[in-house]
Structure 1
């Protein structure tokens, strides 16, 4: 079985180091503090798909460093609340919000496997990039999202662990080496959304660009190998390289699919 590997503490704990900035730039083409499989094109579409306006109040589950949430707030003019369980990510997010002088973005340390600390109908929209797969009890999480959304509110989330083919025990262990993951069969997200009360609007397969991100990420880290080893240690560096290679293989071969789900809470 693959040894456990740290991605998020090293990514957010070392967020401001130049080497991590350079890796993000080489991986995504821009630096928004990313640790997901979201392309720039996809991130630019999210506000449109959610139909955000300056009057919107948006919830992001798994905001990480907060930089993407701050971009959305600045571009749209909406209010945004970001939550994450990683304290390093929330610290970075609040620092960035303070530096930007943002009065419309706030970030909270929150474990969304528990009931959300918000009133019913608090938000016009919610999004989550490659995060719900980390959270136990997806049915309960979706029920909570439904509760805090206003009638007519939209939900967008991605899941990079939809099973599309045969997976070995070793591949599952390597793909899961960075923490808890829930692998789901085709149709499971659709069923869970329906049972939570949502109407599914679209499910888009983004496996190919996700596989390309994994390969660029691995290659960018390899070019910065010595500096990254000094920051995160040899064992963790090698573990993350194996993880990224596994993501690329499984996703490019469509044995694991990444799907983006857009749904609506009916009025």
Structure 2
């Protein structure tokens, strides 16, 4: 089990972000002193297909109570907490955004999962872990250019134990150009170019992985974006969501739905083994 007992360093902006997030949850009637994982499952919707994708990937990868999981680009810790709560495993989440790491750590503590989930502010290309450490790596919505993917694949191969698996849910480039508004859902999230599915597959295999599954789930992803649009227009944004996502979240979801619907982008679910 990996533990990091050092407090995350915070500046005013980082602490203020966490406070705004908690204030939003409190204003929606959440009891901050008695939060449950169900109260904050909404933060699973910061990646495509949300909890459904996390559950499917975990089942595909064979995550269990004995698993040590690394969640790359962990955001507010939604997938990490879902994995710990649903499967009883230990999870380390890493993210580049200090404000996300601070908020994720506080949310995890408040729902009582801090004995299973650790969130750290680290770079995915330079992970502070020894070789052969993790059983499973989760990689969801970390679209970027092919050079970055190659470096990332090599680093994930290094920290995975022999027989370890990378569970992937990735938006990739489609056959139709150009891509419309290739932007992150969150205001703090990175923006990158998309690679084609064959390039992604080849990058992983060149790093030493064997592809066990590589499935096109574009229809399901498009339906998820459509449901996000409907929910935002009908019920408004869920509690806390407005603090995290971009102001133009609905137009962005419409563009991403068009990307998928018009084959400008595709969504793939994959499993790669070391």
TM normalised by structure 1 equals 0.78
Residue 173 of structure 2 aligns to a residue whose secondary structure is strand
- The 3-state SS of whatever aligns with 1:161 is strand
How far apart, in 1, do the equivalents of 2:253 and 2:93 lie? 26
Structure 1 residues 14-93: aligned runs within 5 Å: 15-16=21-22, 17-18=24-25, 31-93=42-104
Contact 2:213–2:272, Cα closer than 8 Å, also in 1: yes
CA distance in 2, matches of 1:205, 1:180: 22
Moved more, 204-213 or 148-157: 204-213
1:263 aligned onto 2:272: yes
2:234, 2:209 → 1: CA distance?
44
**Change over 3 Å in CA distance of 1:19–1:226 after alignment to 2:** farther
Per-residue CA deviation, residues 66-124 of structure 1 (Å, 9 max, x unaligned), is 13212211222211100111222212221122123331210001122x31111101101
Q: Which moved more, 1:30-39 or 1:185-194?
A: 30-39
Aligned counterparts, 1:145-184, within 5 A = 145-167=156-178, 171=180, 174-176=181-183, 179-184=190-195
- Give the 3-state SS of the residue equivalent to 1:65 in structure 2: coil
**Corresponding position of 1:193:** 204
Q: 1:94 aligns with which of 99, 105, 117?
A: 105
Report the counterpart of residue 108 of structure 1 in structure 2. 120
Question: 3-state SS of the aligned residue for 1:175?
Answer: coil
CA–CA separation in structure 1 for the residues paired with 2:164 and 2:237? 47
Give 1:141 deviation, angstroms.
0.6
Q: Which runs of 5+ in 1 are unaligned?
A: 1-10, 23-29
Q: Give the Cα–Cα distance (whole angstroms) in 1 for the partners of residues 196 and 54 of structure 2.
A: 25
Give structure 2 stretches of 5+ with no counterpart. Answer: 1-16, 30-40
CA RMSD of the aligned region, Å? 3.1
Q: Are the counterparts in 1 of residues 98 and 121 from structure 2 also a CA contact under 8 Å?
A: yes
Contact 1:39 1:209 in 2 (8 A): no
1:7 corresponding residue in structure 2: none
Alignment of 1:217-256 (within 5 A): 217-223=228-234, 237=247, 239-256=248-265
How many Å separate the matches in 2 of 1:149 and 1:115?
14
Q: 1:175 to 1:161 in 2, by over 3 A?
A: same
CA distance in 1, matches of 2:123, 2:251: 28
Query: Tell me, what secondary structure is at the counterpart of 2:42?
Result: coil
Matches of 1:225 and 1:48 in 2, distance apart? 32
1:31, CA displacement in angstroms?
Answer: 2.2
Q: TM-score, normalized by length of structure 2?
A: 0.76
Shift of 1:259: 0.7
Q: List per-residue Cα deviations over 1:183-225 (Å, max 9, x = no partner).
A: 2124101110111000001111111121122222233333467
